[in-house]
Structures are given as structure tokens and as C-alpha cells.
Amino acid sequence: MGLVQDSTAWDVVDRLRAALLDGRFAHGSKLKPDTLRTSLGCSASAVREALFRLSTEGLVQFHPQRGFRVPQRDIELLHDITQVRIMIEEQGACRSIRNADVAWEARLTAAHHKLSHIESRVQRTEPTDEVFQLWVRGEQEFHQTLIGNCGSQILVDMHLAIYRRFRQQMVTSDRDFTHLPVNRDQHLEILDAALARDEDGVCRRIRAHLGRHLVRPIPEREAVPA
């Protein structure tokens, strides 16, 4: 008993992903199957297969004959990720609004309520590591619910993937909670716009919410030249 962990291959993937997203490995560090084997309680082959899978998700870099690495922190990459995330989240939110019904509004309100509760708790207490994880899950659930009514499974999956890459880039750096009050207001504004079924408003507020991670502003669409 105790530390039993006869982990199947899928638990290994999830466990590794969780470790990556919690920042338990430094950016750029090497991921050696033979080393990770012990802490994961499985063979090196299983770890290798899991890392392979994670590399296709963009959470791990793979170079043939040179093994696996945690992607470096890269301000340009974060810019790129953010821009794509804005695109997906705008589209997803708008389509969710078009399909809006009471059930979705209830789910979204509930998700925001939970998130808001955590956020106000964080402002009072010392930012524990555990509380941070709680906040991440709350934030993820809110954004996922926001686009979750869009009717497109592919869009939802893509958003989850890009959100994870976003979190991986942010880990260890966003833990200062400086921006949290602003964040809190922005989440509320997004909720209000969504409930008001104001598509343009939601898009504007999503851009405002994520915009601080952009290196340079996204150029506006210009009018057609004559």
C-alpha cells in the first residue's frame, strides 16, 4: 500500500502534463526517460511514449537522437500563442452566444462565481502554491465554459491545447498576482457582455484581457484601398 502507483500509460501522460503545467521542471531542462522512470513508477519506454505524445501537443520539444526538452520561455512564442488564443476565444465566445440558452448562462455564471471566489480569497491570503493551482483551474474552467457552447468540438479541443501552452509559458512568472485585481474586473466584464449577448463587447474584452501578453498590438483591419 502507501506509494503504490501501477500507472497505466495514460496516467503517465496526464501526470507528466500536470507536472509540466505546474512548473515542476525548469524551462529548457532535459527530460530523460530513464530518470523520470523512478518518480513515475513505470518503464522508460512508457515515459518515452508519453513524452512523444506531449511533443505533439507542443508541451515538450523533441529532437531526433537528442531527446526531449521543456520548451524555453520565449516572449515571441507567448505573443504568437496569445494571438491564436484570442482568435479561438473570440470565435468560440461569439458562437456560444449565438447558441445561448439558460443552461449555458447558468454554467457560465457558476464558473465565474467559483473563479471570483478564489480570486477574492487570493487577494486576502498569502499566495500559496496550492491556491495558485486552484486559481489556474478556475480560470481555465471559466474560459472553457465561455467557448463551450460554440458547438464545435474541434474548437474546444484547440482551445484547451493552446491554453495549456499559454499556461506553460506563464508558469513561475505570473505568480506575483499583481495583475489579479485587473484580471478580476476583466473576468466580470466578459461575463456581463456574454450574458448581454454582446458579441462585439465580448471580443473587445477578451482582447483587453489577454492583450498584456502581446509584444506588439495586433494591427486593425484597414479599409479597402480604392
Partner DNA sequence: ATTCGACGTATTTTCGAGATTTTGTTGAAA
Partner DNA sequence: TTTCAACAAAATCTCGAAAATACGTCGAAT
Taking CB under 8 A as the binding criterion, the range among 35-43, 90-98, 110-118, 178-186 that sits at the site for its own copies is 90-98
* Nearer CB in complex with its own copies: 2/219: 219
The entry of its own copies, DNA, none near residue 68 (CB within 5 to 8 angstroms by kind) is DNA
Residue 215: DSSP 8-state: S
Q: Could you please report the per-residue DSSP string of 27-91? A: TT-EE-HHHHHHHHTS-HHHHHHHHHHHHHTTSSEEETTTEEEPPPP-HHHHHHHHHHHHHHHHH
Total binding residues for DNA by CB under 7 A? 18
Q: Are 90 and 202 in contact (CB under 8 A)?
A: yes
Nearer to its own copies, 46 or 108 (CB): 46
By CB under 7 A, is residue 3 in contact with DNA? no
216's contact among its own copies, DNA, none, with CB below 5 to 8 A by partner kind, is none
Q: Find the helix or strand (DSSP H, E) in which 108 lies.
A: helix 102-124
Residues with Cβ within 8 Å of 51's Cβ and at least 6 positions away in sequence, in order, are 16, 31, 33, 60, 62, 68
H/E stretch holding 15: helix 9-21
Which does residue 57 touch among its own copies, DNA, none (CB within 5 to 8 A, set by kind)?
A: its own copies
Burial state string for 24-45 with b = 16 or more CB within 10 A and e = fewer than 16:
ebebeeebebeebbeebebeee
- Angstrom CA distances, 40 to 8, 11, 33, 75, stand at 10, 9, 10, 31
| Residue 63: strand pairing partners | 67
Interface residue with DNA, options 24, 30, 117, 175 (CB under 7 A): 30
- The footprint of its own copies on this chain (CB under 8 A) covers a number of residues equal to 33
What string marks each residue from 48 to 87 as x (binds its own copies by CB under 8 A) or -? -x--xx--xx------x---------------xx-xx--x
Among the listed residues 162, 171, 190, 191, the single contact to its own copies using CB under 8 A: 162
Residue 8 within binding range of DNA, rule CB under 7 A = yes
Using CB under 8 A, which residues numbered 205 to 224 contact its own copies?
Answer: 219, 221-222, 224
Rank residues 90 and 139 by Cβ distance to its own copies and give the closer one: 90
Q: Which does 27 bind (CB under 5 to 8 A by kind): DNA, its own copies, none?
A: none
Member of 38, 102, 154, 217 binding its own copies (CB under 8 A): 154
